[in-house]
Structure 1
Amino acid sequence: MNTSPVRVAALMSSTQLGPCGRAMAAWLADRAGGRGDIALDLIDLAEARLPDARPAETGERPAAVADLAPWLASADAFVLILAECNRGLPASLKNTLDWYRREWAAKPVAFVSHDATTGGLLAVEQLRLVLAGLEALTLRDGVSLHTPGPDFASASATADAMLDRLVCWGRALRLARTAATTSER
Structure 2
Amino acid sequence: MIIGSVRHERFADAITGWLLTELAAIEGLEVDPIDLADVDLPLQGTRPGGTETPISARLHAADAYLIVTPEYNHSFPAALKNAIDWHFGEWAYKPVAFVGYGAGSGGIRAIEQLRLIFPELRATTIRDAVLLNAPWTRLGPNGYEGTEGERAALAGTMTELGWWARTLRAGRVADQASAA
TM-score using structure 1 length: 0.87
Gaps of 5+ in 1: 1-9
2:3 maps to which of 12, 16, 25: 12
* Counterpart for residue 141 of structure 2: none
Distance in 2 (alpha carbons) for counterparts of 1:30 and 1:58: 38
1:152 maps to which of 146, 153, 173: 146
* Counterpart for residue 59 of structure 1: 49
**Which deviations, in whole Å up to 9, do the C-alpha atoms of 1:40-77 show, x marking residues without a partner?**
0011001012111114x64353xxx5221000000000
Deviation at 1:38, TM superposition (A): 0.7
User: How many residues matched?
Assistant: 172
1:169 aligns with 2:164: yes
What secondary structure sits across from 1:39 in the alignment? coil
TM-score using structure 2 length: 0.90
Matches within 5 A, 1:20-169: 20-55=11-46, 58-59=48-49, 61=51, 65-148=52-135, 149=138, 150-154=144-148, 155-169=150-164
Letter aligned with residue 170 of structure 1: A
Judge conservation of contact 1:81–1:111 (CA < 8 Å) in 2.
yes
Distance in 2 (alpha carbons) for counterparts of 1:33 and 1:66: 28
Distance in 2 (alpha carbons) for counterparts of 1:156 and 1:43: 22
Distance in 1 (alpha carbons) for counterparts of 2:73 and 2:102: 10
Gaps of 5+ in 2: 139-143
Distance in 2 (alpha carbons) for counterparts of 1:113 and 1:72: 20
What CA RMSD, in Å, does the superposition of the two structures yield over aligned residues? 1.6
Distance in 1 (alpha carbons) for counterparts of 2:53 and 2:3: 18
Letter aligned with residue 117 of structure 1: G
Judge conservation of contact 1:16–1:90 (CA < 8 Å) in 2.
no
| Percentage of identical aligned residues | 35
Deviation at 1:37, TM superposition (A): 2.3
Judge conservation of contact 1:16–1:85 (CA < 8 Å) in 2.
no
Distance in 1 (alpha carbons) for counterparts of 2:9 and 2:85: 23
Distance in 1 (alpha carbons) for counterparts of 2:111 and 2:17: 20
